[in-house]
């Protein structure tokens, strides 16, 4: 029988992990900001940057950053990109525990484009997290009705 592998963990090795993670997150932030200077409406870069900013506790700054992107999209008449930014803003609202505001923003997105499956999925996730299972089922049903098959994620549903 193989001997178990043991490793001595020191206080220094434990504190190195978070510092290393923080430095990688900072590097990622810098890379994302560079991408956003070239393509300020990149959905992926805006989303990832917002999530990193939020993880650093930059709540107000992340909303301001997204509002700037939204203004660019509106000024350039880029409706899809503006919608994408508004979707990210709603997600950030939820992360900041502004559940009612997040749901309100998703409702606005649904009114504007009832065929976009993303707000239904997000609302379903929120409702399932706050134990409103009946509402979650309704949202997930609409999501399944509208979403392309590649976006099916049965595991998230109750």
For the stretch 55-91, pLDDT in tens is: 889 989 999 999 999 999 999 999 999 999 999 999 9
Contact indicator for 54, 95 with CB cutoff of 8 Å: yes
pLDDT of residue 41: 94
pLDDT band at 98 (very low <50, low <70, confident <90, very high): very high
Nearest to 135 by CA among 147, 153, 146, 123: 123
For the stretch 105-149, pLDDT in tens is: 999 999 999 999 999 999 999 999 999 999 999 999 999 999 987
Judging by beta carbons within 10 Å of its beta carbon (0-12, 13-18, 19+), is residue 62 exposed, middle or buried? buried
pLDDT band at 156 (very low <50, low <70, confident <90, very high): very low
pLDDT of residue 19: 72
pLDDT of residue 67: 96
pLDDT at 8 over 90: no
What are the b/e assignments for 69-88, b being 16+ CB within 10 Å?
bbeebeeeeeeebbbbbbbb
pLDDT of residue 22: 82
How many C-beta neighbours within 10 Å does residue 47 have?
18
pTM higher than 0.95, yes or no? no
What is the three-class DSSP state of 42? coil
For the stretch 10-58, pLDDT in tens is: 444 444 556 788 888 889 989 999 999 999 999 999 999 999 999 889 9
pLDDT of residue 11: 45
Q: DSSP state, 58?
A: -
How far apart CA 148 and CA 151 sit, in angstroms, is 6
Contact indicator for 86, 67 with CB cutoff of 8 Å: no
Instruction: Please spell the DSSP secondary structure of 80-112, one letter per residue.
Output: HHHHHHHHHHHHHHHHTT-HHHHHHHHHHHHHH
């Amino acid at each position: 029988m193989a001997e178990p592998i043991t490793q001595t963990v020191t206080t220094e090795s434990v504190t190195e992990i978070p510092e290393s993670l923080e430095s990688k997150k900072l590097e990622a932030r810098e890379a994302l900001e560079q991408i956003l200077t070239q393509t300020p409406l990149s959905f992926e870069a805006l989303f990832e940057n917002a999530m990193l900013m939020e993880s650093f506790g930059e709540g107000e700054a992340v909303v301001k950053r997204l509002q700037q992107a939204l203004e660019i999209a509106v000024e350039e008449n880029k409706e899809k990109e503006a919608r994408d930014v508004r979707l990210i803003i709603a997600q950030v609202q939820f992360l900041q525990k502004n559940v009612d505001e997040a749901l309100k923003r998703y409702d606005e997105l649904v009114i504007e484009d009832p065929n976009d499956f993303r707000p239904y999925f997000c609302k379903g996730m929120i409702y399932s997290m706050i134990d409103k299972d009946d509402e979650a089922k309704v949202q997930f049903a609409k999501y399944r009705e509208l979403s392309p098959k590649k976006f099916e994620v049965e595991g998230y549903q109750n």
